[in-house]
Each structure stands twice: as structure tokens, then as C-alpha cells.
Structure 1
Amino acid sequence: MVFANYIAMCLIFGTTFLAIKVGIDAGAPPFFSAGIRFFLAGLILFAVMAWKKQAPLSILLRKEMVFTGICLTFGVFATLYWAEQHLSSGIAAVLSATAPLMVMLLQTGLSRQKLSASSWAGCLIGFGGVILLLLPGLTFSFSMLWVAGCIAVLFGQVFYSAGAVYSRRVSQQFKDVSPITLNAAQMMYGGILLLIASAFTEQVHMEFLLSPQAVLSLLYLIFVGSMMGHTIFYWLVAKTNPVFPSTWLYISPLIALALGVALYQEPLYLSSLAGGIAIIAGIVMINWKTLQQLVAKKAPIRHAESPTK
């Protein structure tokens, strides 16, 4: 059951990037569709948890939920949805996989601890992978929007890294509150901020809802991507440990890359493929000790970061 749910989670998170791309290509305004997705997903999840008496309404009045919503939902997905207007879903997914690298660099900077040789090597390999991913937009068909999209996704992961580090402290502060409830609350706030951004920057014409692709994309992202994916993630945390479910970051980007090419005829350059593999290899090297502990079934118990896809 654990293995089956793990595979399902990797597939879900791997398909969300393509679902975002399909919706945007069908005319869905990026900020508006992202805002609707996360506000409704958070609202439904929070209502379910409240019905189970596991979601105190007072949690919605805490500033911590606003801060995590800014970082883990608004900052990450405002940039991702905007970027997928100009990037393939596979490239966006692989660039999003740099999040653990940025989390490690931020934690190291805050704690002033020295990195191991393998971690430094992983950083360099991961950085090299990002450069390889950028090459097609710089050489084969120079596009400032391509480069801007790549930079936007990477900038979103800076928000994610700050939110991931901060959310660990929040989860310690609210030990008696379910992680699903905390995640639902921050998604609601993030969704509201995305809708506010849409109101100031986009002209929303509801005709996009007449497109079956746009509607199916939105429904899939709400119920499968946000609600089902996150629920499986926290179920795996409860059944295994906080480390194991997070390894989806090593698998889902490559799933997204393959799906984009196979199902959506997205272009794939050899340098992009090499860059994607290099980024994943770098992340594995950075987390090598943790993965060894996981294999040995001695992974330290830490509070899991909220999944973002």
C-alpha cells in the first residue's frame, strides 16, 4: 500500500506541470487560475478537516498562515504559472526541482555550518544542470521570454526555500494541529493573494471556462493535484517518515519532462535532457547522507516540508 501510494503521488505531482500548461494554453489567466485552484483546494480541505474537528477556525487568524501562504503558494506559483506561458512544462518541472538545493543553501547560511564535499559537488553539478537547461533559449533560438521564464521559476524556488525553512518552525509551534490543516490554511491565503494579483494585472474574461481543456485542467489541479496529492503525501509521512515521501522531487520532474514530450509534443533538446539529469544528480548528492539513512531505515524524524506541486 505504501509503495502504491508513493508511485501515485509521484505521478500526480509529475502531471501537475503539464496540467498547468494545458490550462494556460487554453486561455486561462495565470494568476487567476492559480488563485482559484489553491483557494478552493484549501477551502475544501479545511472544511473537511473542520468537519473532522481537526481544524480550529482560530488558525486562520494567525499571521504565520499568511507568511507561509506568501512563500509556499503565492511566491512559488505566481512565478511558475507566469513562466509556463513561455516554457515547456518539463523544463519548468526540472527547474522547480532546484528547491532542495536552495533550501540547503539557505539553512547553511542561517546556521553558518560548513557544507560537506559531496554537498558542494552537488551544488556545482546542479548549477551546471541549470546552465545546460538555459542553453536552448540562448543559442538555438534566442528568446528573452524563455530566459525570463527560467529565471522566474528559479526565483519562485527562493520563496519556497524560505517558506520551507519557516514552515518547520511553524509546525513546531502548532504541534497539536494537523499538517493537512496548516497546509490548507496557507493554500487559502496564497490563493487569495494570487486572486488579488490577478485583479491588478489581468483582464479576466470568463469565456476561458467554455474551453474543456481549461476546465479539466483546473478541476484536475484542484482535486487531484492539490487535494489528493497532498493528502497522500501526509499519509506517507504518517506511515513511513518525513524523509521518504519528499524523494518525489527526484522522480516527478523527469516524469513531467517525459509526459510533456510524449503527450504535448513539447520540444526536448539534448542539452535540456542532460541539464535535467544533472540537476537531479546534484540534488541526490546534496541529500546523499539522508538517503543512506533512509535506505538503512534510520532516517531522523523531522517535520516534513509542505509539498508545493
Structure 2
Amino acid sequence: MVIINYVVMCLVFGTTFLAIKIGIDAGAPPFFSAGLRFLAAGLLLFIWMVWKKQARFSLLLHKEMWITGLCLTFGTFSTLYWAEQHVTSGAAAILSATGPIMILLLQATVLRERVTGKALLGCLLGFAGVVLLVFPQVSITVSLFWLLGCVAILIGELFYSSGALYSKRVIQRFADASPIALNAAQMIYGGTALLVLSLFTEKIHPETMLAPSAIGSLLYLIVFGSMVGHTIFYWLVAKTNPVFPSTWLYISPIIAMALGAILYREAVSWPMAAGAATTILGIVFINADTLRQMMKRPEKAKELVCPVQSRT
């Protein structure tokens, strides 16, 4: 189940960079569209969980929800949406691929947790693979706003990494709550903060938001990008660790390359193929311990079952 959800999450997230870019190019205000996306997705999920009696409105009163929302949603996407006005989606994918590395560095320096050399090597290989894969397609126009956009994405990844690590503790503290409800709560707070930011920094033109490409981008990001993708991400953090689900940032450029080759018959060069192979190798290194533990669980289950069967 973990592997299936991971694959689905990667497929969904692999298309969100393009969906964000389509909405912004259509003229949708970045902060407003991001806030509307997450607030709508969070409210729909949370109301559904309350209706299913798997969550209570009192969950929204805990400070952990808005802290997580500040990091995972507001900090990550306010910077990304703004940056994609000045940075190509390919460059954004490369810079966002620093997320797993930042998580490992924060684990080692701030939380004083042991980080294996294999995991660090895997992160470096994965990042190198993303660079090989995407860099030949990236057009770089050096300007002040381009540089600010790159810095903004890196700051957003720092928020993302901190939020991923913090969310693991939140999930453990609220063990009785569903990860779906916890994710919905943080999206409500993060989306609200983005709308407040939009109120003070942007002018909303209804005609741009009603453009077909803007509406299509928003609906896709609400349903698939947030309600499906982020819920699975939160669930994977609960079931594994913050690094494992974050490696989708390495997979998304491979998905973009594959879609381009299949749908648009775009050529795949040797550096791109080498980048894809290097990225996959890096992910295997990063998740070697997690995959080994997952493989051991069925064996342990058999060990528990076999003695009982032998007595009957």
C-alpha cells in the first residue's frame, strides 16, 4: 500500500509545477490562487472527515495545526507561486529538489538525529540526476527577479523541510486523529494565510480568474494536487518518515520527461536518460532502510502466524 500511494503521489505532484505555471500565465494572482486552492481543499476534506465522524472541529483550535500550515503550505507555496512568475518550471523543479537534502541536514544539525551515509549519498545522487535531467531544457535569463525567484524557492524548501519534520511530531502527538484530518486542518490555516497575504499585495481581476485555463488549473490543483496529493504525502509521513515521501521532488522531472516523450514525441537525450537513471539510483539509496523494513514486516507476520497454525 505504501508503494502504491507513493507512485500515485509522484504522478500527481509531477504535474503540479506545470499546472501552477498554466494558472499564473493565464493571469491568476499567485497568492490568491494558491490560497483559494488550499483553503477550498482543506475545507472540503475537513467537513467530509467531520461528517464521517473521524474528526472534530476542536482539532482546529490547536496551535500545531497553524504552525504546520505556516510551514508546509504558506511558506512553501507563497514563495513557489511568486517565483514561477520569473523562473521556468524546469528551474523550479531543480531548486525544489533540494528539499530532501535540507530535511537530512536539519535532522543532523537541529534535531541531532543520526543520518546514514547511504541516505546522504542517495540525496546527492538524486539531486545530480535531476540536474542532468532538467538543466539542458532550462533557459536562464539572469536578472534581479530571476535571482530573487531562485532564492525564494530555496527559502520555501526550508519551510517545506521544517514542516515535514514538524508534521511527523504532530502526527505522533495526535495519534488518535486521522492524517487526512490533520492535513486538511493545516491546509485551512495555510490557505487562509495566503489569502490574507493576497489581500495586501495583489489586485484581483475576476475576468482573469474566470479564464478557462485559470479555472482548469485551479480545479486540478484543488482536487488532485491538494486533496489527493497532499493527503497521501501526510499519510506517507505518518507511515514512514519525512524523507521518503519528499523524494517525489526527484521523480517529478522524470514524469515530465516521460509525458513529453509520449504525448509530444519530444526527444530524450543521453544526458536526460543518464539523469533519470541516476535519480532512480539515488532514491533506492535514500529509501534502502525503509524498503528493507517494509519487506521484513510480512516475514514477521508469517513468523507470528506459523506457530499458531502448527498447533492446530
TM-score (norm 1): 0.79
Q: Pick which of 111-120 and 127-136 moved more.
A: 127-136
Checking the alignment, whether the CA contact within 8 Å between 2:90 and 2:138 is kept in structure 1 is: no
Give, in whole Å, the separation in 2 of the partners of 1:264 and 1:95. 25
Query: Any idea what SS the aligned residue of 1:158 has?
Result: helix
- Render the CA deviation track for 1:286-309: whole Å, top value 9, x for unaligned: 44333443455579xxxxxxxxxx
Match of 1:160 in 2: 160
Give, in whole Å, the separation in 1 of the partners of 2:190 and 2:95. 21
Q: Give the CA deviation at 1:231.
A: 4.4
Structure 1 unaligned blocks of 5 or more: 300-309
Query: Any idea what SS the aligned residue of 2:183 has?
Result: helix
TM-score (norm 2): 0.78
- Render the CA deviation track for 1:43-76: whole Å, top value 9, x for unaligned: 1111001111112111111111111110010000
Checking the alignment, whether the CA contact within 8 Å between 2:35 and 2:191 is kept in structure 1 is: yes
Checking the alignment, whether the CA contact within 8 Å between 1:133 and 1:275 is kept in structure 2 is: yes
Match of 1:99 in 2: 99
Match of 2:215 in 1: 215
- The letter for the 2-side match of 1:242 is T
1:20 aligns with 2:23: no
Checking the alignment, whether the CA contact within 8 Å between 2:251 and 2:279 is kept in structure 1 is: no
Question: What are the within-5 Å matches in structure 2 for residues 190-269 of structure 1?
Answer: 190-232=190-232, 241-242=239-240, 246=245, 248-259=248-259
Query: Any idea what SS the aligned residue of 2:53 has?
Result: coil
Match of 2:305 in 1: none
Checking the alignment, whether the CA contact within 8 Å between 2:10 and 2:252 is kept in structure 1 is: yes
1:88 aligns with 2:88: yes
Give, in whole Å, the separation in 2 of the partners of 1:237 and 1:142. 37
Query: Any idea what SS the aligned residue of 2:15 has?
Result: helix
Change beyond 3 A, Cα 1:144–1:162: same
Give, in whole Å, the separation in 2 of the partners of 1:134 and 1:148. 20
Q: Give the CA deviation at 1:36.
A: 0.3
- Render the CA deviation track for 1:179-213: whole Å, top value 9, x for unaligned: 11111011000001101111111112121123100
Change beyond 3 A, Cα 1:136–1:20: same
1:51 aligns with 2:34: no
Q: Give the CA deviation at 1:156.
A: 0.8
1:60 aligns with 2:60: yes
Match of 1:116 in 2: 116
Give, in whole Å, the separation in 1 of the partners of 2:71 and 2:32. 18
Match of 1:150 in 2: 150
Q: Give the CA deviation at 1:233.
A: 5.2
Indicate the structure (1 or 2) with the bigger Cα radius of gyration.
2
Q: Give the CA deviation at 1:141.
A: 4.2
Q: Give the CA deviation at 1:150.
A: 2.6
Percent identity of paired positions between Structure 1 and Structure 2: 59
- The letter for the 2-side match of 1:187 is M
Checking the alignment, whether the CA contact within 8 Å between 2:35 and 2:195 is kept in structure 1 is: yes
Q: Give the CA deviation at 1:280.
A: 6.3
Q: Give the paired residue count.
A: 298
Checking the alignment, whether the CA contact within 8 Å between 1:23 and 1:214 is kept in structure 2 is: yes
CA RMSD for the aligned pairs?
Answer: 3.8
- The letter for the 2-side match of 1:193 is A
- Render the CA deviation track for 1:7-40: whole Å, top value 9, x for unaligned: 4332212111111110000001110100000001
Change beyond 3 A, Cα 1:34–1:98: same
Checking the alignment, whether the CA contact within 8 Å between 1:97 and 1:280 is kept in structure 2 is: no
Change beyond 3 A, Cα 1:167–1:7: closer
Q: Pick which of 87-96 and 276-285 moved more.
A: 276-285
Give, in whole Å, the separation in 1 of the partners of 2:240 and 2:100. 14
Checking the alignment, whether the CA contact within 8 Å between 2:183 and 2:234 is kept in structure 1 is: no
Checking the alignment, whether the CA contact within 8 Å between 1:100 and 1:283 is kept in structure 2 is: no
Change beyond 3 A, Cα 1:236–1:74: closer
